Amino acid sequence: MINFKKSLIPVIVQDSKTDKVLMLGYMNQEAYNKSIDEKKITFYSRSKKRLWTKGETSKNYLFIKDVLIDCDEDTLLIKAKPSGPICHQGTDTCWKEINNNKNFLFHLENIISLRIKEKKENSYVYQLLKKGINRISQKLGEETVELIIESKDNDKNLFLNESADLLFHYLILLKKKGFEIQDVINILENRHSKS
C-alpha cells in the first residue's frame, strides 16, 4: 500500500532497458491512479499546481513497464520505456554527470534521434538519412577506409578524429536500421557471459 499521507511522494524513473535513471518527479494519489490507468507516467507538478503527464507537450512519453515501492512505502521506482528524449534540453536523462563522459555515446545517440525527429534541413544527420541506406553505408565505408589509412601512420590526432567519424556514422546507420547502441552492447555482454 502506497503511503500518500504526506500528499506527494517522490518517484524515481528508470529506463526499463538500460537501467539509466531518467528523472525524478512527484505523485499524489490522483497522479498515480492516472499513470496506472493510462500506462504512462503522470506527475503532480508542484510549479504548475496540477497533474502533468510527461510528454503532454513534447510527445516524449514514459510508458510504464514496472512499478516498485520502497520498504517505507513512501517512494516509487518506475521502470519505463521512453518514447524520445526525456529532458527539455533534448537529452535522454535529466541528470548530468560531473566530469564524466562515459555515457556520451547514449547522449549522442539521442541527439541523432532528435535531429531525425526535428527534420531540420540544415542538419547533417537529417540530410544524410534522407539520402537513404546506400549513401549512409557508403559514408560508413569511406570513414572505415580513412581510419585504416590513418592507423598506418603515427598521427594520433588524425587517427582519433577518423575513429570518431567512423563511430558517429555507425550510430547513424544503426538508427536507420532501427537499432540502438544498446542492442550491440547486449550482444557483446551476452558473448562475454558465455566465455
Give the fold, CATH level 3, of 104-193: Helix Hairpins (1.10.287)
pLDDT by position in tens, the chain (length 195): 788 877 899 999 999 988 889 999 999 999 999 999 999 999 999 999 999 999 998 899 999 999 999 998 889 999 999 998 888 887 888 887 665 556 788 888 888 988 888 888 899 999 999 999 999 999 999 999 999 999 999 999 999 999 999 999 999 999 999 999 989 988 998 888 776
Give the fold, CATH level 3, of 9-82: Ubiquitin-like (UB roll) (3.10.20)
Residues of CATH 3.10.20.810 domain(s) within the chain? 9-82
Instruction: Give the span between the Cα atoms of 64 and 142, in whole angstroms.
Output: 41
> DSSP secondary structure string, the chain?
----TTS-EEEEEEETTT--EEEEEEE-HHHHHHHHHHTB-EEEETTTTEEEETTTTT---EEEEEEEE-TTSS-EEEEEEESS--STTS-S-S---SS--TTHHHHHHHHHHHHHHHT-TT-HHHHHHHT-HHHHHHHHHHHHHHHHHHHTSS-HHHHHHHHHHHHHHHHHHHHHTT--HHHHHHHHHHHHHH-
Degrees (nearest 5) of the Cα angle 114, 183, 64?
A: 65
Residues of CATH 1.10.287.1080 domain(s) within the chain? 104-193
Please state the pTM of the whole predicted model: 0.54
Q: What are phi and psi of 64, to 5 degrees?
A: -70, 130
